[in-house]
Amino acid sequence: MTLQSPIVTVFGGSGFVGRYIVQALAHAGYRVRVAVRRPNEATFTMTYGTVGQVQPVQANIRDDASTRAAIAGTVAVVNCVGILFPDGKQKFDAVQAEGAGRIARIVKEEGVERLVHLSAIGADADSDSDYARTKGVGEQQVKEAFPGAVILRPSIVFGPEDEFFNRFGGMAKGVPMLPLVGGKTRFQPVYVDDVAKAALLAIDGKAEPGIYELGGPDIETFRELMERLLRVIRRRRVLMPVPMGIAKLQGYVLNLLPILTLGAVPNSILTPDQVKLLARDNVVAEDARGFADLGIEPRDMDGILDSYLWRFRPNGQYSEIIESAKNLR
């Protein structure tokens, strides 16, 4: 990396997927701007490169001026911003539709060479799910403003900081039962590092414009993923199916949290919108471009889950030692 190295801006670069993309870019020699709303909370990303190579900057994709300032002078932009539930001014439409469109428009106006947009499998502008609908509208706005964009649609992304396996692993530590909403729904978990590799290829100009759906080699139902989790963390828990009607009712009740707390506590547990998503398969379409078209062989969950879910085992990192000791005579 030198002072003449090209600059890439990563919106949402301190988030789960974003931080891996920032690392990949830094290792490839790019200078990286990590564009986030609160730069003081993204200083950890500065350790991903040499001194001065990775720099957090303030930007809010709901605002033209700060978004433009973060983009100016870059050769490429990656948009990783997305939300799983609304919180305050961070609404689905404002972030995933209007925000995505704003970034693409300004990227075009600033003459930036490449744009990578992180979306999700199931994105559909006509969906009855606000999450999937705004992801779909965001894709439309990106393609209209910047037709040469590369759009990545991952399934559930897993890795050390994920919000899926870590969340249910934490639940399994404290309760005797795990709820199954949409137990038969299929998912195709993808390793976060593989998503970062795909983004890097796009930034390097080695991916054709268009949409790529990213899924790992394993396709499993929600129940099978929970069974896999319990094997990894070596716990026995009852898997309790929850009918969709009851789950949706629970979501509506939990949606009262922001109202009763005047917005202080968002509903990050279960929303009616999430229930809609859990009723639909989240796997790569048969006719979609994917990892094979990028020359990437995605990694499966075996081994990787063990590397970070051990902390949910009854004896944590010492579980294997204790189990091995039981065999001594």
Q: What is the pLDDT of residue 318?
A: 54
Per-residue pLDDT of the chain (329 residues; tens, 9 = 90+): 666 899 999 999 999 999 999 999 999 999 999 999 999 999 999 999 999 999 999 999 999 999 999 999 999 999 999 998 888 889 999 999 999 999 999 999 999 999 999 999 999 999 999 999 999 999 999 999 999 999 999 999 999 999 999 999 999 998 999 999 999 999 999 999 999 999 999 999 999 999 999 999 999 999 999 999 999 999 999 999 999 999 999 999 999 988 888 888 888 889 999 999 999 999 999 999 999 999 999 999 998 999 999 999 997 765 665 655 556 55
Q: Which of these, 66, 69, 60, 71, lies nearest to 145 by C-alpha position? A: 71
Token pair recorded at residue 156: 């559930």
Rounded Cα distance between 314 and 143, Å, is 49
Q: What is the pLDDT of residue 132?
A: 97
Q: What is the pLDDT of residue 3?
A: 65
Side chain identity at residue 10, one-letter code: V
Q: What is the pLDDT of residue 265?
A: 85
Rounded Cα distance between 16 and 46, Å, is 15
Three-state DSSP class for 66?
helix
Output the DSSP codes for 268-308.
-S--HHHHHHHTS-B---TT---HHHHT-----STTHHHHH
State the greatest distance between any 2 C-alpha atoms of the chain, in Å, as a whole number: 73
Which region holds residue 280: left if phi is over 0, alpha if psi is between -120 and 50, else beta? beta
CB-CB contact of 287 with 212 (8 Å): no
Q: Which residues, 6+ apart, have CB-to-CB distance to 286 below 8 Å? A: none
Q: What is the pLDDT of residue 216?
A: 98
Output the DSSP codes for 142-205.
HHHH-TT-EEEEESSEESTT-SSHHHHHHHHHH-SEEEEESTT-EE--EEHHHHHHHHHHHHTT
Q: Which of these, 281, 286, 278, lies nearest to 186 by C-alpha position? A: 281
Output the DSSP codes for 79-132.
E----SS-BTTB-HIIIIIIIHHHHHHHHHHTT-SEEEEE--TT--TT-SSHHH
Q: What is the pLDDT of residue 260?
A: 86
Q: What is the pLDDT of residue 322?
A: 60
Domains of the chain by start residue, with CATH: 7-164+187-216+280-298 (3.40.50.720)
Give me the torsion for CA of 78, 193, 273, 99, rounded to 10°. Answer: -10
